[in-house]
Chains A and B, each alone.
Chain A
């Protein structure tokens, strides 16, 4: 699902965030990406999400070379990826339902289909009863679950999460991780960037460790 071939990323100004990274994450795998802050976790996710482009090397997502993809095609490829952010990036001027339905509206689904899928996603994260509320009235954990529902509503092949439990207490963090595991069980590839070592060690998934932009863990992952 994800393959990095000798990838380096140097930002304007000369800071090299990633140096010569090669790794592979199989279809249907679930893995953690960890390392100290500034180790390059976010940069790695941004390369996969086509927010940044590699300076050297090639990044493949779902067998597509995203280092070479044209800007016009990026939106269509992003629809196959679900993103979860630390601060969940919900839109506070619309309801929980409208937030979750947004990817479907963007992708051009029909009205009935949007209602059906959005409610199914909300049901999976246990928030169906709160679809008419505004995100501001929800707790931090609930907001993050809305973010997850939005990320999975379009049935993505790949879920990327950047510090999804950064603002949550251990119990809620564990709930969120269980949710990811649930999606992984139905075939979604999941990559979670996190520095919550305690949480990661509780779980049995492979771990990619970055240190100052270099890999320190096992390079080829199989799950």
Chain B
């Protein structure tokens, strides 16, 4: 008892520090691993209810992930054209081929233009004949009705829809131009629609993330209530709040991990079910497009958001309900 007496004159701060045991990093890690393992064991012992909670989280994560993946696939489908966005400039019928060539040379000097291909009426007629199957009919025409066309490829840095639109206006202003037409306008429309869909996925994801937080929070709240007695006893024995918090936080993390795993299963299964019909459809279009399933990046994002939401949800529940439990 003598050492206690000698503490008499020290500041309160000092002696309280002296009561703390410093944990070595190895002991600390071991402790965390142990708590994590214990929490997992607890989930396993109530595996039915744990699985139900994890399934709710899984569905909430799978919905945005699946929609994102679907959009990603559509994006790839349209993206193969998107890179080639180009302008077809139809010149007035009165413009001769020589004048058109001069114009093409002039236009090649513009900084926003990467390449210009001049398509003469003869070439255009041939191409049209090949592709349309109307070659015989076209042959019956007295004279070639087609104008000279300049196929303009925008330069790098000028291929986004706005820049291409500006370029289109610039061509329209030329006196030789009859019509400056943006190719594949529908690709842009599709891109715009995909943008809206993508934004919707963000909104839905946020709502579902909130749902995950509430589900985890409620589950952890129930667990805290079930273990009330244990919490009181450990507090009396000298457990710090962080010691008491730890198993609940690990439970939250495990719920997130399990939920992410289940969501991965759900997405993979859904896409596997879609593969057959999609192949049939793309086969009709003579395309070798194949559905892409969860890339590793998305998988790690699922896992990351599952863990983050589980941890945050349990943190909120623990913060709200643990401080209310004090020995009395």
B215-267: which have CB < 8 Å to A? 229-230, 232-241, 243
Residue of B nearest to A92 (CB): B229
Known contacts A68-B12, A89-B229: A109-B21 contact under CB 8 Å? yes
Name the contact of A157 in the complex, choosing from B1, B12, B236, B240 (C-beta under 8 A).
B1
Residue of B nearest to A110 (CB): B27
> Contact: A89 with B12, CB < 8 Å?
no
A64 to B10, CA, bound (A): 10
Neighbouring B residues of A89 by C-beta, 8 Å:
229, 232-233, 236
- Excluding A51-B236, A77-B238, A108-B31, 18 further A-B contacts by CB distance (< 8 Å) are A51-B326, A51-B327, A63-B7, A64-B12, A73-B12, A75-B239, A75-B240, A77-B16, A77-B19, A78-B238, A89-B236, A105-B31, A106-B237, A106-B243, A109-B21, A110-B24, A150-B237, A157-B4
Neighbouring B residues of A65 by C-beta, 8 Å:
12
B308 → A minimal CB distance (Å): 27
> Contact: B21 with A108, CB < 8 Å?
yes
> Contact: B4 with A78, CB < 8 Å?
no
Known contacts A28-B1, A63-B8, A64-B15: A106-B236 contact under CB 8 Å? no
A80 to B238, CA, bound (A): 8
A164 interface residue, CB < 8 Å from B? no
Residue of A nearest to B20 (CB): A76
> Contact: A51 with B328, CB < 8 Å?
yes
> Contact: B238 with A76, CB < 8 Å?
yes
The 0/1 profile, CB within 8 Å of B marked 1, for residues 95-113 of chain A is 0000000110111111100
Neighbouring A residues of B21 by C-beta, 8 Å:
107-109
B32 → A minimal CB distance (Å): 12
Neighbouring B residues of A93 by C-beta, 8 Å:
230
B contact set with A: CB distance below 8 Å: 1, 4-5, 7-8, 12, 15-16, 19-21, 23-24, 27, 30-31, 229-230, 232-241, 243, 326-328
A102 to B4, CA, bound (A): 25
A73 to B233, CA, bound (A): 17
Neighbouring B residues of A131 by C-beta, 8 Å:
none
A157-179: which have CB < 8 Å to B? 157
> Contact: A75 with B235, CB < 8 Å?
yes
> Contact: B4 with A76, CB < 8 Å?
no
Q: Which of A28, A75, A154 has the most CB of B within 10 A?
A: A75
A32 → B minimal CB distance (Å): 21
A63 to B238, CA, bound (A): 19
Known contacts A83-B236, A91-B233: A69-B12 contact under CB 8 Å? yes
Residue of B nearest to A26 (CB): B1
A1-58: which have CB < 8 Å to B? 1, 27-28, 49, 51
Neighbouring B residues of A111 by C-beta, 8 Å:
30
Residue of B nearest to A153 (CB): B237
Residue of B nearest to A88 (CB): B233
Neighbouring B residues of A91 by C-beta, 8 Å:
229-230, 233
Could you pull out 20 A-B pairs where Cβ atoms are within 8 angstroms? A1-B1, A1-B4, A27-B1, A63-B7, A64-B12, A65-B12, A75-B239, A76-B238, A77-B16, A78-B237, A79-B237, A79-B238, A83-B237, A91-B233, A102-B234, A105-B31, A106-B237, A106-B243, A108-B31, A154-B238
> Contact: A63 with B5, CB < 8 Å?
yes
Neighbouring B residues of A141 by C-beta, 8 Å:
none
A187 interface residue, CB < 8 Å from B? yes
A contact set with B: CB distance below 8 Å: 1, 27-28, 49, 51, 62-65, 68-69, 73, 75-80, 83, 89, 91, 93, 102-103, 105-111, 150, 154, 157, 187, 189
A106 to B20, CA, bound (A): 11
Neighbouring A residues of B243 by C-beta, 8 Å:
75, 106
B270 → A minimal CB distance (Å): 40
Known contacts A64-B12, A80-B19: A106-B234 contact under CB 8 Å? yes
A63 to B6, CA, bound (A): 10
Q: Which of B1, B31, B232 has the most CB of A within 10 A?
A: B1
Neighbouring B residues of A76 by C-beta, 8 Å:
16, 19-20, 238, 240
A109 to B24, CA, bound (A): 10
> Contact: A79 with B19, CB < 8 Å?
yes
Known contacts A77-B16, A89-B229, A108-B27: A27-B4 contact under CB 8 Å? yes
Neighbouring B residues of A62 by C-beta, 8 Å:
4, 7
9 shortest interchain CB distances as A-B pairs: A79-B238, A27-B1, A76-B19, A78-B238, A73-B16, A75-B240, A108-B21, A106-B239, A75-B238
A1 to B238, CA, bound (A): 19
B127 → A minimal CB distance (Å): 81
A77 to B238, CA, bound (A): 7
> Contact: A63 with B236, CB < 8 Å?
no
> Contact: A187 with B238, CB < 8 Å?
no
A155 to B274, CA, bound (A): 66
Neighbouring A residues of B327 by C-beta, 8 Å:
49, 51
A80 to B16, CA, bound (A): 11
> Contact: B236 with A49, CB < 8 Å?
yes
